[in-house]
Amino acid sequence: MNQESAQERSYLAAQWVLGLLDESERAQALAAIDDQQEWRRAQTFWEDRFHGLTEGLKPETPPNHVWNHIERAVESQDAEGGLWRHFFQSVRFWRPVALMATAAALILFFYARAPVGPPAVAPTQVAMLGASDQAPQFMVAVDPQSHRMTVKAMGKVDLPSGKSLELWMLPGGDAPPLSCGVLPKEGKSSWEMKPKEIEAMKNGNGLAVSLEPEGGSATGGPTGPVLYQAQFVTL
Amino acid sequence: MHSNPQLVEFLEATSRGDRVSFAKLYEQTAPHLFALAQRILKRKDWAEEALQDSFLKIWKKAADFDPQKGRAFSWIATIVRNGCLDQLRKSSREPLSPEGIKEEWHAAHQAGPLDLAALSQSAKALQDCLKELSEEERNTLVLAYWRGLTQSEMAQNLDRPLGTVKTWVRRGLERLKGCLER
C-alpha cells in the first residue's frame, strides 16, 4: 500500500462517515476499495474522532415512554423468535458454524472414502458469502441431485444505484472465473447449473462476489473489486 | 462515558440476549444519544422515535460489535446518527430552511462554553485540531457531521460553487488528519 492511496482512502472514508458523498460518489468510493479491512479501519478512525463532537452536547434523559416502547418491542420480538433470529444473523454465531461446517465437511470427506456403501442422498454443497467481520450477506446452496444452485440474500442488500453484485465460480488453475449471474438484492433466486459450473464446483476454488455495473459485467469477467470469497462446504 | 469499558461488557451481554445489560446500556448512553438525536433532528418527538428505532437495531445487531475495531460508544453513536440522518433523507423531514442551514453553517463551531475538563482526550484533540482549520473548512466539516449534507447539497444551501465546497472539505480533512496524528 503506497502512501498516496492510503491518504486517498482516509480522505474518502472521512467523507463517507460525514455523509458528504452523493450516490455516484459513494459508488466510485466502493469501486475504489482495494482492501476491505483497511477501508473499515479508516472509517472507524474517523467515526471515533468525529463522535467527539457529541461530547460538547449537554446530556438529556429521554422520557420514560421511550424505554417502555423499546422494552415492549424487544419482548414481542423474543416472543416471535426474534432472539434466535438476531443470534442467527450475528457473526458470533456464524464464525463457529463456519468452523463446524468445515470440520463436518472434513469428517464427511474422510468417512465417504471408507467402504460403507454409497450414501442414500448425496450431500448438499453450501457456501456463506460476506465480509469477514460481518454476518453473511448471501447463502449459496447446490442441490446435488438436480444441480440447481440457489442463492438467498440474508437481508436486504444496500447497493449504490447503478451497481450490482455478481457471483463467480472460481475453477482454479489458470482458468478465468465463470459468471453465475447477478445476485438478488433480496429474497432468493435459483437456476440450473451449466456443466462447466458443476465441474468448477467439484474441482475449483469456491466462489467470489464482485461489484459490477448494474446488470453485471459487460466483459464476461469481473471488472470491479472482489468483495467476498468463500469455499463450498459439504453438509 | 465515551471510552467507558463497561459499555463493551453490556454490548457483549446484550448480544447473548441479556435484557438487564441492555437496560444498563440504555441507561448509560441514552442521555448522550438523545442529545445527539435532538441536535440533528431539532425536534424532541422525532428524536424519541429515532432513539427507539436505534436501540432496537442495537438489540438485534449487538453481536456485530467488535471491540478490536473501534470504541463501543462510537459504534452505538454511529447507529443513532445514521438513523437520524436516514430519517431526514427518507421522509424529507428537513427541519431547516436553506437560510437556517446557512445560519447553522456560520455558527457550526461556535459550540458555546465547552466544559473542556469533561471532554475525553480524543474529543479534546478534535476540538484543538479544528481550531487549526480555516473558519470555512471547520464549519463545513462540523455542519456535515450534524446534518449529513452531501457536498452538492452543501454548495446549494450555502450558495457557493461546488468546487469551493470540495476544496474546503479536502483541505480541512487533510489538515485535520495531519493534526490528529501529530
Top-confidence residue, A232 or B79: B79
Secondary structure (3-state) at A89: coil
**Cα angle, residue A38 at apex, residues A24 and B64 outer, rounded to 5°:** 90
How far does the CA of residue B27 sit from the closest CA of chain A (Å)? 9
pLDDT digit string, tens, across residues B4-15 = 778 999 999 999
Asked whether residue A116 is domain-assigned, the answer is no
pLDDT for residue A15: 94
Q: Any idea what DSSP says for residue B161?
A: -
pLDDT digit string, tens, across residues B123-154 = 889 988 998 999 899 989 998 998 888 999 89
pLDDT for residue A109: 46
pLDDT for residue B162: 95
The distance in angstroms from the start CA to the end CA of chain A is 39
Determine the Cα–Cα distance for residues B57 and A91; give it in Å rounded to an integer: 15
pLDDT for residue A93: 47
Among A10-19, A76-85, A86-95, B103-112, the range scoring the smallest mean pLDDT is: A86-95
Q: Number of structural domains, chain A? A: 2
pLDDT for residue B114: 56
pLDDT for residue A88: 46
pLDDT band at A189 (very low <50, low <70, confident <90, very high): confident
Determine the Cα–Cα distance for residues B127 and B116; give it in Å rounded to an integer: 9
- In a shared domain, residues A45 and A130: no
The residue among A17, A37, A53 that closes a domain is A53
B59 touches chain A (CB under 8 A): yes
- In a shared domain, residues A130 and A227: yes
Mean pLDDT (chain A, rounded): 76
Q: Mean pLDDT, to the nearest integer, of B67-79?
A: 89
Asked whether residue A90 is domain-assigned, the answer is no
Asked whether residue A61 is domain-assigned, the answer is no
Q: Mean pLDDT, to the nearest integer, of B35-45?
A: 91
Given 3-state DSSP classes, what are the helix, strand and coil percentages for chain B, each rounded to the nearest 5?
75, 0, 25
How far does the CA of residue B78 sit from the closest CA of chain A (Å)? 7
Instruction: Sketch out chain B's domains with CATH numbers.
Output: 6-90 (1.10.1740.10), 98-180 (1.10.10.10)
pLDDT band at A116 (very low <50, low <70, confident <90, very high): very low
- In a shared domain, residues A46 and A133: no
Determine the Cα–Cα distance for residues A2 and B25; give it in Å rounded to an integer: 41
Residue of B44, B54, B61, B89 to mutate, interface with A, max A Cβ within 10 Å = B61
- In a shared domain, residues A37 and A132: no
Asked whether residue A150 is domain-assigned, the answer is yes
Determine the Cα–Cα distance for residues B157 and B98; give it in Å rounded to an integer: 5
Domain coverage including residue A13: 3-53
What is the interface pTM, i.e. ipTM, of the complex?
Answer: 0.87
Helical residues (DSSP H) of chain A, grouped into ranges: 3-18, 23-32, 36-50, 64-79, 82-88, 91-113, 195-203
Asked whether residue A183 is domain-assigned, the answer is yes
Top-confidence residue, A198 or A49: A49
How far does the CA of residue A229 sit from the closest CA of chain B (Å)? 19
Per-residue cell: A25:
460518489
Secondary structure (3-state) at A176: coil
Q: Is B171 exposed, middle or buried (0-12, 13-18, 19+ CB in 10 A)?
A: middle
**Cα angle, residue A149 at apex, residues A208 and A193 outer, rounded to 5°:** 90
Cross-chain Cβ contact A66/B51 below 8 Å: yes
- Please give the helix or strand (H or E) that residue B8 lies within, else none: helix B6-15
Asked whether residue A138 is domain-assigned, the answer is yes
In A, which residues are within 8 Å of B71 by CB distance? 48
Nearest to B65 by CA among A85, A134, A138: A134
- In a shared domain, residues A153 and A230: yes
Asked whether residue A98 is domain-assigned, the answer is no
Per-residue cell: A207:
466462489
Q: In chain A, pLDDT over 70 holds for what percent of residues?
A: 77
Asked whether residue A62 is domain-assigned, the answer is no
Per-residue cell: B159:
450558495
Helix and strand numbers (H, E) in chain B are 9, 0
Q: Is residue B95 within 8 Å of residue B58, measured between CB atoms? A: no
Among A169-173, B87-91, B115-119, B176-180, the range scoring the smallest mean pLDDT is: B115-119
Task: Give A 115-134 residues with CB within 8 A of chain B.
Answer: 133-134
In A, which residues are within 8 Å of B60 by CB distance? 77, 82, 85-86, 89
pLDDT for residue A137: 81
